[in-house]
């Protein structure tokens, strides 16, 4: 019982720290869901051994600068991966720790390859979204769209017929945008 309680505290503490970093004032969504950063780190390690700082930079590059994990997120994740025997850490002469993926880590990554691909697609889509919102006119248009939709759907009594009309408008807009040259 005592061991389980200690684990629960550690896990809760880890989520809390990660949540603080990801939410950035409560408005931003988490860039990675629970446990997803593990897969991303293992994928990076399949290309070469690394160090903590290099992993942080690789993730920043992957997200086109839109997310930089803090050491308070990276190092507990590395501890977990080491506990699971998915990575090894080797002390180098300069005092840095070289991080390498193990055979077990490669197997776990292969077992979860579909999830990793889903994460990679979502990261690409979110990076496009970040780029779109950097354009002031696009940001204004998106904010206007969200405000109108919020008013119409959440603050008025909206009938099923009106909901179907709204869905039709959104679908037509999406189709029209997809067909632009």
Q: Give pLDDT tens digits for 154-170.
A: 877 888 888 899 889 98
Contact 42, 105 (CB under 8 A): yes
Mean pLDDT of the chain: 80
Give the pLDDT of residue 29. 54
What number of other Cβ atoms are within 10 A of residue 109's Cβ? 20
- Residue 114 has what pLDDT? 95
Looking at residue 14, what is its pLDDT?
33
> What does the pLDDT look like over 77-132, one tens digit per residue?
999 999 999 999 999 888 889 999 999 999 999 999 999 999 988 888 887 777 67
31-83 residue pLDDT tens: 788 889 999 999 999 998 789 999 999 999 888 888 899 999 999 999 999 99
Tokens representing 157 are 């009594």
pLDDT at 66: 81
DSSP labels, 66-122: S----HHHHHHHHHHHHHTTSEEEEE-TTS-EEEEE-HHHHHHHHHTHHHHHHHHHH
> Number of C-alpha atoms within 13 angstroms, CB side, residue 140?
3
Instruction: Measure the CA–CA gap between 26 and 28, rounded to whole angstroms.
Output: 6
CA distance 83 to 37: 16
Task: Please report the pLDDT score of residue 109 as a whole number.
Answer: 96
Overall pTM > 0.75: no
Report DSSP letters for 7-53, one per residue: HHHHHHHHHHHHHHHHHTTTTSPPSS-TTHHHHHHHHHHHH--B-HH
| Owner of token pair 């969200």 | 146
* Nearest C-alpha neighbor of 42 from the set 90, 96, 98, 86: 86
The radius of gyration of the chain's CA atoms, rounded to the nearest angstrom, is 21
Look at residue 115 in the predicted model and tell me its pLDDT. Answer: 93
């Amino acid at each position: 019982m005592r061991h389980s309680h200690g684990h629960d505290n550690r896990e809760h503490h880890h989520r809390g720290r990660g949540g603080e970093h990801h939410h950035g004032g409560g408005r931003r969504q988490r860039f990675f869901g629970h446990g997803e950063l593990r897969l991303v780190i293992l994928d990076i390690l399949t290309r070469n051994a690394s160090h903590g700082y290099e992993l942080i930079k690789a993730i920043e590059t992957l997200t086109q600068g839109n997310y930089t994990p803090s050491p308070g997120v990276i190092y507990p994740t590395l501890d977990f991966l080491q506990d699971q025997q998915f990575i090894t850490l080797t002390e180098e002469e300069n005092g840095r720790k070289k991080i390498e993926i193990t055979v077990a880590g490669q197997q776990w990554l292969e077992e979860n390859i579909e999830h990793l691909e889903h994460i990679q697609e979502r990261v690409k889509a979110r990076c496009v979204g970040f780029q779109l919102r950097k354009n002031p006119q696009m940001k204004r248009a998106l904010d206007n769209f969200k405000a109108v939709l919020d008013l119409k759907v959440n603050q008025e009594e909206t009938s099923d017929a009106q909901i179907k009309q709204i869905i039709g408008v959104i679908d037509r807009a999406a189709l029209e945008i997809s067909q632009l040259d």
